[in-house]
């Protein structure tokens, strides 16, 4: 069975990869500064909270659009009714 990747799935995968790279790679050292303070919070905390918020919203969108389903168009797969 050949897997098909729609544009939406590729965007979600790309967004997930970007979010994890920005949170877990050495790029976080770019944001490892106290200044500028954002509402009294060091910039590193704002950086982490921002990227976690991005990933949370992305996962919510992925859940609401059934991105893991095998059907096209985002419709959920329903099981066939049994006549017992």
Question: Residues 11-27: pLDDT tens digits?
Answer: 889 999 999 888 888 88
Which residue has better confidence, 15 or 34? 15
Residue 38 in any domain: the answer is yes
Residue 59 in any domain: the answer is yes
Could you tell me how far CA 20 lies from the centroid of its own chain?
Answer: 9
Helix/strand/coil for 72: helix
Place of tokens 């877990």: 24
CA-based nearest residue to 20, from 43, 51, 60 = 51
CB count within 10 Å of CB 51 equals 19
The mean pLDDT of 25-38, rounded to a whole number, is 80
Number of domains in the chain: 1
Q: Which structural domain, as residue segments, surrounds residue 30?
A: 7-65
> What confidence category does residue 70 fall into, taking pLDDT thresholds of 50, 70 and 90?
low
- Reported pTM: 0.67
């Amino acid at each position: 069975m050949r897997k098909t990747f729609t544009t939406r799935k590729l965007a979600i995968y790309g967004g997930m990869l970007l979010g994890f790279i920005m949170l877990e790679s050495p790029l976080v050292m770019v944001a490892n500064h106290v200044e500028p303070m954002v509402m009294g919070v060091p910039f590193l905390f704002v950086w982490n909270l921002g990227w976690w918020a991005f990933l949370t919203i992305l996962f919510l969108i992925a859940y609401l659009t059934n991105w893991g389903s095998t059907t096209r168009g985002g419709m959920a797969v329903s099981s066939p009714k049994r006549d017992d």
